[in-house]
Each structure stands twice: as C-alpha cells, then as structure tokens.
Amino acid sequence: MTTTNKDTYNRTYPISWEQLQRDARALSWRLIELGPWQGIIAITRGGLVPAAIIARELDIRLVDTVCIASYAGRRRGQIQVLKATSGDGDGWLLIDDLVDTGKTARLVREMIPKAHFATVYAKPAGRPLVDTFMTEVSQDTWILFPWDSEIQFAKPIAGRKQQDV
C-alpha cells in the first residue's frame, strides 16, 4: 500500500542493533569490491553508525561528516546544512542509514557529486539517487532505528486498530 502524502506512514519497521550491524556488514561486502576508497563521509546523524561499521569492515580510518538536519521527530522539515565538506568526493564513500524521499540525497549529491553514495536502507522515491543499498522498504514505512527506540510491551497485532498497524 502506498500513499500520496509522503509524511504518512502506514507501517513501522523496527530495526534492532544486531540487524543494523548485519545489514551494514552486508553492505560492506558489496562496497569492498568497488574500492579502494580514500575515506568515508557520513551523513549525520543517521549515517554515523553505519559509517562506523563500514569503516571497520573496510579498514578505513579516514572518516568525515556532512551534517544535515531534515527531520523533526517523524516529520520532514526544512533541510539545513549544518556542516559541509570540501572536495568533489572522488574516491570517497558517502554513507547514510536511509534514503527516503531523496531531498537530502539530492542536496548531498550536488555538494559531493563524485562520491559513491551508499545507504543501508532505501525507499523507492530516493533509491535512484544512491549507487548502492542493502535493503529496500516501501515508501509508507517508517523505519524505527535502534537509536530512536526503547524496549517496551507491544500489543498483539490482532488487538490493534488498523491505523495503529
């Protein structure tokens, strides 16, 4: 099921720390064949954890950041560049946790056009903007990353209202 309002999420896909590590390591297997890489540029904040895992797996010690703010809670907000990076990205990996609508991806692609852009997760609207990704999820799915969640009781699916699912 897809929606026309891109701020509407009909599904939630919780990611555990273990799953994120497995998925980021699997992405590393795809990326190692495309190197060698000069370094990694992580898109903050979501790209920091995957970038750290990928840096370890590919034995990359040079890690930079481009700092972008685009969400306020579960709502997309105005994109703000808080810190840019220098150069055109040639020979560098650009890492983020997710490409969603592609707004951040377009902005960063303009800033660093020659970087190889990789994300762990990709939604259909943003997928064409990345060079490599690990897992595709539907556009109407909110990915609940482990740094945004806590463990608590969950109602059985049968006991939830349809809009809660």
Catalytic site residue from 23, 100, 140, 164: 100
Name the residue with higher pLDDT: 109 or 163. Answer: 109
pLDDT value for 1:
34
Catalytic residue flag (residue 97): yes
- pTM of structure: 0.83
pLDDT digits (tens, 9 = 90+) for 29-84: 999 999 999 999 999 999 999 999 999 999 999 999 999 987 665 566 688 899 99
Q: Which CATH topology does 11-145 take?
A: Rossmann fold (3.40.50)
pLDDT digits (tens, 9 = 90+) for 117-159: 999 999 999 999 999 999 999 999 999 999 988 888 878 888 7
Catalytic site residue from 96, 131, 140, 164: 96
Catalytic residue flag (residue 59): no
Q: How does DSSP classify residue 104?
A: H
Long-range Cβ contacts of 67-72 (<8 Å, 24+ apart): 68/43, 68/44, 68/104, 68/107, 68/108, 70/103, 70/104
Catalytic residue flag (residue 100): yes
pLDDT value for 7:
58
Looking at the DSSP assignment, which residues form a beta bridge with residue 72?
Answer: 75
SS3 of residue 19 by DSSP: helix
